[in-house]
Structure 1
Amino acid sequence: MDITIQSSFLPSDDPEASLAFYRDALGFEVRGDVGSGQMRWITVGPPGQPNTSIVLHPPAVDPGITDDERAVITEMMAKGTYAGINLAAADLDAAFERVQASGADVMQEPMDQDWGARDFAVRDPAGNSVRIQQA
């Protein structure tokens, strides 16, 4: 069986700020941008990997979600505990410098982890955890 990851979804409550983070700070390509205002679905992905994307979507827009569930999602996003993604970079230090220069909320500077990885962690504008490790 040959299964690959095509897309992953992350909530975005500020499409313009999220677009600036993923496009400008991380260097991702914009592959799609549909909707308007706060109801935008923006698809981004790493250059050279056209079959792998992240879809930045409005949180809690499913009509089946209750107001209480929306409140929990909003609270979790504010704490940075709702969603996250792990990425990799060939030059971790250069990636950290670029992301830090963008003004991103740094949770952890580059460091060697006990499990063998060297990584850093930031929050994107929606509060999602973004960990980037040395490739």
Structure 2
Amino acid sequence: MNAKVTSVFLYVNDIIRSRDFYHEVVGASVVQQLSEYEGGPIALVVLRLGDFTLMLHPQDAHDEEFRDQRVGIGIHLQIRVSDVDAFYQHCIEQGAMLSLSGEPVDQSWGWREFALRDPDGYVWSVYQDKSNGQWTS
């Protein structure tokens, strides 16, 4: 069996703010925005990062499911970039002061990375693989 993770579905508090964060800061392309009815509030935003799909859905439609939970807790995602220092600088220029770890640092396993938190608390490791092929996707 050959499996590949192709997408993630994130529940968010403010779908417009999250869409803008992933589009303007992270660089994802907005593929689709859907409402349940014409003129209604956005119910789903679909974004693409390379061949990966990121789907955003408003949490408030599922308040009962999230009553005792907080969005963003318990998940840690990763984004590989070609130049982590340039991406970090881009985040600062975009006003995304949502860094958890400060400036990018070299890790013993060959990554140069920093941690970024999105508007809902989802944590992303933004990294550049400098392991000379030890880590492959």
TM-score, normalised with respect to structure 1: 0.77
TM superposition shift of 1:60: 6.4
Higher relative contact order (CA 8 A, sep 6+): 1
| RMSD between superposed Cα atoms in Å | 2.1
TM-score, normalised with respect to structure 2: 0.76
Gap runs ≥5 in structure 1: none
Residue of structure 1 in register with 2:84 after alignment: 92
* Correspondent of 1:102 among 94, 114, 118: 94
User: Equivalences for 1:1-135 in 2 at 5 Å?
Assistant: 1-35=1-35, 36-37=40-41, 40-46=43-49, 49=50, 51-59=51-59, 61-62=61-62, 66=64, 69-73=65-69, 76-77=70-71, 80-104=72-96, 105-108=98-101, 109-135=103-129
Partners of 2:59 and 2:107 lie apart in 1 by 32
Structure 1 outlier segments of 4+, above 4 Å: none
Deviations 1:3-58 (A, max 9, x none): 22221112211111111111111111111111243x52111112xx3x42011122
Partners of 1:56 and 1:122 lie apart in 2 by 18
Determine what percentage of the aligned residue pairs are the same residue. 28
Which structure has more helix as a fraction of its residues?
1
Partners of 1:54 and 1:25 lie apart in 2 by 14
Partners of 1:16 and 1:52 lie apart in 2 by 20
Residue of structure 1 in register with 2:133 after alignment: none
